[in-house]
């Protein structure tokens, strides 16, 4: 495979792309047996009805270039980045508004997650503008340097210091000249790959955000590792590939969110409502016990187990609240191994923690006594022993 490296065209990636353009002054030809496309993505910047948005707003990249804390900020978007940045700004003391196109943020998450986050963001003081269909235009007052944000539903937000657009990302592929070599792309410009991260061109591979499968940094790392194993590793790894199923993910919102597997609605659609059983709990973390405030004002933790089949296999696990980010990794391993509700119930709780709620979820110990483990841990069984060399 031969790659011609040419001066980059500005793909909308901001200052970094400009710097790369200045540094790259001449053509270079590079030949290799394997070429990996892993150029990532960049924030999408909508134009608005009059082209004013790029002039008066910054992207999520621009957030990290802010030198002073804005007095009043508007964050536009309903995904990971939008809710994370809105939470950070509000916690630091900025009067923060979140603009979402539909009813609430994180609509693709389980309803329990998105509804609880919505309540907690408002409790923290974030103003949420709903059903706006996005931003129409932004104007700047030259005398005060303050901005006015006009939404597509007619609402207006005045006296804004900073507007942050976090309304989506695009794959950074514009400068790669993929069409010229015939690399197939999907809607939105994402590179089409098979289960082995191979494009339709021999020797050309792609991983990460350019593929648009699961746009998470650890997912890209895992895909890259499996690809390297297959191409350069031991012959036993010649079929190595990454799995895009049951990928645990965390949103560092306020409070944090952890989720893996199917939402309740997705599970019902896939397996049928008659085959689904849901366990859930909502409580105030013990950390807030000494707080001299009304119990209704204490931050809430919400949890849900979505189970399917007669064996009650856990097909979805969702949590929002203090410590959700740290507790998810271990439960993710259990789900990848096919854990059932009975497996969760068989694990002794660690008290006092929030995580213990997942292994004491009511009703406890009354479901189907089936294990998803290779060696069942149910009914006081001994733990499995490792297989030793003979």
- On whether the CB atoms of residues 340 and 268 are closer than 8 A, the answer is no
Largest CA distance in the chain: 82
pLDDT value at position 313? 93
* pTM exceeding 0.75: yes
Q: Smallest Cα–Cα separation from 184: which of 168, 206, 215?
A: 206
Q: SS3 of 144, please?
A: coil
Encode the chain (390 residues) as per-residue pLDDT tens digits: 556 555 445 444 455 555 555 555 567 888 899 999 999 999 999 999 999 999 999 999 999 999 999 999 999 999 999 999 999 999 999 999 999 999 999 999 999 999 999 999 999 999 999 999 999 999 999 999 999 999 999 999 999 999 999 999 999 999 899 998 899 999 999 999 999 999 999 999 999 999 999 999 999 999 999 999 999 999 999 999 999 999 999 999 999 999 999 999 999 999 999 999 999 999 999 889 898 888 888 889 999 999 999 999 999 999 999 999 999 999 999 999 999 999 999 999 999 999 999 999 998 888 888 888 877 777 667 766 656 667
- On whether the CB atoms of residues 262 and 269 are closer than 8 A, the answer is no
pLDDT value at position 23? 54
pLDDT value at position 296? 84
- On whether the CB atoms of residues 307 and 277 are closer than 8 A, the answer is yes
Tell me the catalytic residues: 351
Please, what is the Cα angle at 134 between 130 and 140, to 5 degrees? Answer: 110
Q: Give one DSSP letter per residue of 115-170, joined into a string.
A: HHHHHHHHHTT-EEE-S--SEEEEEE-TTT--EEEEETTS-EEEEESEEEE-S-EE
């Amino acid at each position: 495979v031969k790659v011609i490296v040419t001066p980059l065209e500005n793909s909308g990636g901001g200052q970094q792309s400009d710097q790369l353009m200045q540094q790259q002054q001449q053509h270079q030809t590079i030949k290799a047996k394997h070429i990996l496309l892993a150029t990532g993505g960049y924030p999408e910047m909508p134009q608005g009805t009059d082209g004013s948005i790029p002039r008066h707003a910054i992207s999520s990249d621009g957030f990290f270039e802010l030198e002073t804390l804005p007095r009043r900020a508007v964050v536009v978007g309903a995904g990971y980045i939008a809710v994370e940045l809105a939470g950070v700004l509000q916690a630091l003391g900025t009067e923060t508004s979140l603009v979402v196109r539909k009813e609430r943020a994180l609509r693709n998450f389980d309803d329990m997650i998105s509804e609880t986050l919505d309540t907690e963001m408002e409790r923290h003081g974030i103003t949420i503008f709903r059903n706006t269909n996005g931003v129409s235009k932004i104007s700047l007052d030259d005398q005060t340097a303050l901005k006015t944000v006009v939404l597509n539903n007619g609402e207006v937000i005045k006296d804004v210091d900073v507007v942050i657009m976090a309304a989506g990302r695009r794959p950074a592929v514009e400068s790669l000249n993929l069409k010229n070599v015939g690399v197939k792309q999907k809607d939105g410009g994402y590179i089409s790959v098979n289960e082995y991260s191979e494009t339709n061109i021999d020797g050309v591979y792609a991983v990460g955000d350019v593929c648009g499968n699961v746009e998470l940094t650890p997912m890209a790392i895992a895909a890259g590792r499996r690809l390297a194993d297959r191409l350069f590793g031991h012959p036993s790894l010649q079929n190595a590939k990454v799995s895009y199923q049951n990928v645990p993910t965390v949103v560092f919102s306020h409070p944090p969110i952890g989720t893996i597997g199917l939402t309740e609605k997705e599970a019902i659609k896939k397996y049928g409502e008659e085959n689904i059983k849901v366990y859930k709990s909502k409580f105030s973390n013990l950390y807030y016990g000494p707080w001299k405030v009304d119990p209704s004002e204490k931050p809430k933790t919400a949890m849900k187990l979505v189970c399917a089949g007669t064996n009650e296999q856990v097909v979805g696990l969702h949590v929002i609240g203090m410590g959700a980010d740290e507790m998810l990794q271990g439960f993710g391993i259990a789900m990848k191994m096919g854990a059932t509700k009975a497996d969760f119930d068989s694990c002794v709780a660690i008290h006092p923690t929030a995580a213990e709620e997942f292994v004491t979820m009511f009703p406890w110990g009354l479901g189907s006594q089936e294990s998803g483990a290779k060696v069942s841990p149910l009914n006081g069984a001994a733990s499995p022993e490792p297989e030793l060399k003979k």
